[in-house]
Amino acid sequence: MDQTALMLLLCLCSSALSDELRLVAGRSRCVGRLEKKDLGDWKPVTDWNWNWNFTSAAGACRQLHCGSVVSLQRDEDDNVEIICSDSVRLVQGTNRCSGRLEVKTNQSWSSVCEKDFDLQDAEVVCREIGCGPPSVHQGALYGEAEAPVGSREFLCEGSESALLNCSSRKSSGRNSCSPGQAVGLTCSDQDNIRLVGEASRCAGRLEMIHQEEWRPVDVMDSYWDMNSVATVCADLDCGSAVSARNSKEASERPVWWIRSDCFQSGSELKNCLPSDEISDQSHEIICSDSVRLVQGTNRCSGRLEVKTNQSWSSVCEKDFDLQDAEVVCREISCGPPSVHQGALYGEAEAPVGSREFLCEGSESALLNCSSRKSSGRNSCSPGQAVGLTCSDQDNIRLVGEASRCAGRLEMIHQEEWRPVDVMDSYWNMNSVATVCAELDCGSAVSARKSKEASRRPVWWIRSDCFQSGSELKNCLPYDENSDQSHEIICSDSVRLVQGTNRCSGRLEVKTNQSWSSVCEKDFDLQDAEVVCREISCGPPSVHQGALYGEAEAPVGSREFLCEGSESALLNCSSRKSSGRNSCSPGQAVGLTCSDNIRLVGEANRCAGRLEMLHQKEWRPVDVMDSYWNMNSVAAVCAELDCGSAVSARNSKEASWRPVWRIRSDCFQSGSELKNCLPYDGNSDQSLEIICSGNSELSYLFLLKCFFHQVPDVCRETVTFN
């Protein structure tokens, strides 16, 4: 395809796209209610998904060949309303208030030569697109011009409402203006969030301005954490996140309600589109005023930057010692420093400062320390900027048992330890595994929910906090009362990592507070039986090297001599391995233990009554909320590697007996029944299942159905007796 044909195709595609959207009921085609063509009919675009923000609106303005987005709101019916500028836009900027300036005349866009543009012109443009006063305007700041550079000089007085309202004349310097001299403009991006109620602008209740009204902010889906708080601190150009809490007000009042998505990494809270609601919740935040750690692995690590005279600079490692590090770690509410060295978290982007700090170690903030001009200013390169790692203090613990890896789950928040209750009442063995990993304990062994004799204060958290990749220590709990508590057992000294479920993975053993893999030469079936029993899984089915990736932890030199009946691997005899030098990371033991669910009562393992192993006891399963279907049955068959679901029924037993009661959520697509945490109950119900298993079983089943020998199990859906 030649270049002319390609350009024609792009124009046609652009035209087709713009026909799909329009703005109506406004003063111009670039203002009004957003509508989209759907099967030939124009329909309003609603914000039912709560995902419209200024970035989305900017895309709509661009698609409509309008200028920059000026404002965004939703009406009472949740219809999206947008104001785009008619004739100016900023392109290729870092946010909606910066970019290379382009002006629309005669339906085409052109850049403006910097020789033809002054501060008064910039003030008009910034006002026109709903941004703050201009801070910078210079050529090539946001790349060279793609649109042609116009030949028009603007003569604004500075008070006009739009650039095209200004007087203008043909530029005298037309022939001397290159694409690299097109105006790049930066307007101040007016903060629409603030913290109020404290002496510092970096602490207090979070508020937002929208539709010219400041209100407290409440998070719509009730979930935000210390990563969310860090986003707010960064948006306000404050330092690191120090602490946060959810407060309950005496009465409900109007708030701006926003989604927790607004706090995602890379997004800006100022771009969010809030909803008008009533709430009695508010969020109080403390950010550090003048220090921050950037590009770290968590909020307690990163390259140190210090703010002085409203600008951030790194610190040279020559000018920073252990006492200085202790002050910084305390200032941002982290534990004592463990590492501080140059280039640990990348080279400095901010300039490296020339200030040497002389802290004694007891100060509450780095800028409270004495300091002096560094003698080594000229010898400090960006690669020598201080990278600091503070210990990330555990805010969870297990109490009430002899081991630190077993007991009731508690959390410290606002300097108070309390039991934890899960707000939405749903968590599973994956949740428990998250707790065990965070405490540097071994694999999750078991968990149960206990009912206390009376209600008492707890920290109430959402089950989202246990999601893969998140850290419970970053959760922000709610102050509540409950009679529920969660008791957990993690293995002290063994864990399976990188497996497909909690009963499979590469084996690692903890000795002297460090984890090491085990060489397959030093591990036999009896050893495997002990490990599987220790982590409350079924008997071992496979153990071989490199099954679950090569070892990251070092491969240990210890040979275990288990008899097979021991309760824990470290209870077995052991000796130094004779094959230490010949064991590579690819020969570390990968172990697969069998599941904790089974079907019993029929000749084939793929048919019968559903039972589960929990707390070392096999019991029949009953579904707590009485809802399951053939999709649920299919989940069980798949988990047992038994082919497709054939049939199922609920049977009523002659008498009540102990069962493990589970929620129907456990059967959801993608979840595993083996990871469910059942409740201790009594029931006269049981679940009987037939899976296809193998071809012989399927053939016999079809014969029985054909001759009507087992009508109850030949139905297409689950039957309830």
Mean pLDDT of the chain: 81
Q: The domain 396-490 is classified under which CATH number: 3.30.70.600, 1.10.3720.10, 3.10.250.10, 3.40.50.10140?
A: 3.10.250.10
Pick the more confident residue, 541 or 481. Answer: 481
**Least confident among 165-174, 275-284, 489-498:** 165-174
Q: The domain 494-593 is classified under which CATH number: 2.40.100.10, 3.30.300.10, 3.10.250.10, 3.20.20.80?
A: 3.10.250.10
Residues 529-553, mean pLDDT to the nearest whole number: 77
Kindly report the length of the chain.
721
Measured distance CA(396)–CA(418) in Å, rounded: 10
Over 80: is that where the pLDDT of 16 sits?
A: no
Q: Which CATH architecture has domain 88-187?
A: Roll (3.10)
- Cα–Cα distances (Å) from 673 to 538, 596, 633, 639, 689, in that order, read 14, 9, 11, 8, 14
Q: Where in the chain is the domain with CATH 3.10.250.10?
A: 3-84, 88-187, 193-287, 291-390, 396-490, 494-593, 597-720
Tens-place pLDDT, residues 667-712 = 765 557 777 888 888 999 888 999 987 544 444 544 444 444 444 4
Tens-place pLDDT, residues 522-539 = 889 999 999 998 998 888
Residues 390-395, mean pLDDT to the nearest whole number: 77
Q: CA nearest 444: which of 536, 507, 329, 371?
A: 536
Q: Which CATH architecture has domain 597-720?
A: Roll (3.10)
CA 168 vs. chain centroid, Å, equals 51
CA 279 vs. chain centroid, Å, equals 25
Token output for 483? 């009679």
Is residue 717 within 8 A of residue 649, CB to CB? The reply is no
Residues 89-104, mean pLDDT to the nearest whole number: 87
Tens-place pLDDT, residues 17-73 = 345 889 998 888 899 999 988 888 888 887 654 467 777 888 889 888 888 888 888
Residue 429 CB-half CA count within 13 A: 25
Over 90: is that where the pLDDT of 204 sits?
A: yes
Measured distance CA(672)–CA(503) in Å, rounded: 12
What is the DSSP track for 282-339?
EEEEEE-SSEEEES-SSTTEEEEEEEETTEEEE-BGGG--HHHHHHHHHHTT---EEE
Residues 319-345, mean pLDDT to the nearest whole number: 84
Measured distance CA(51)–CA(273) in Å, rounded: 8
Measured distance CA(518)–CA(570) in Å, rounded: 13
Q: Which CATH architecture has domain 291-390?
A: Roll (3.10)
Token output for 585? 């990371």
Domain 3-84: top CATH class: alpha beta
Q: Which residue has the tokens 């690819």?
A: 586
CA angle 528, 533, 538 (to 5 degrees): 85
Pick the more confident residue, 600 or 139. Answer: 600
SS3 label, residue 5: helix
SS3 label, residue 264: coil
Using the 8-state DSSP alphabet, how is residue 122 labeled? H
Over 60: is that where the pLDDT of 240 sits?
A: yes
Is residue 86 within 8 A of residue 162, CB to CB? The reply is yes
| Residue 10 phi, psi dihedral angles, 5° rounding | -65, -40
Report the CATH number of the 193-287 domain.
Answer: 3.10.250.10
Q: Which residue has the tokens 């590469």?
A: 506
pLDDT band at 561 (very low <50, low <70, confident <90, very high): very high
Which amino acid, 691?
C
pLDDT band at 503 (very low <50, low <70, confident <90, very high): confident
Q: Is the pTM of this model over 0.85?
A: no
**pLDDT at residue number 10:** 33
Residues 86-111, mean pLDDT to the nearest whole number: 86
**pLDDT at residue number 223:** 65
Is residue 477 within 8 A of residue 469, CB to CB? The reply is no
Is residue 474 within 8 A of residue 464, CB to CB? The reply is no
- Cα–Cα distances (Å) from 551 to 240, 508, 547, in that order, read 35, 9, 10
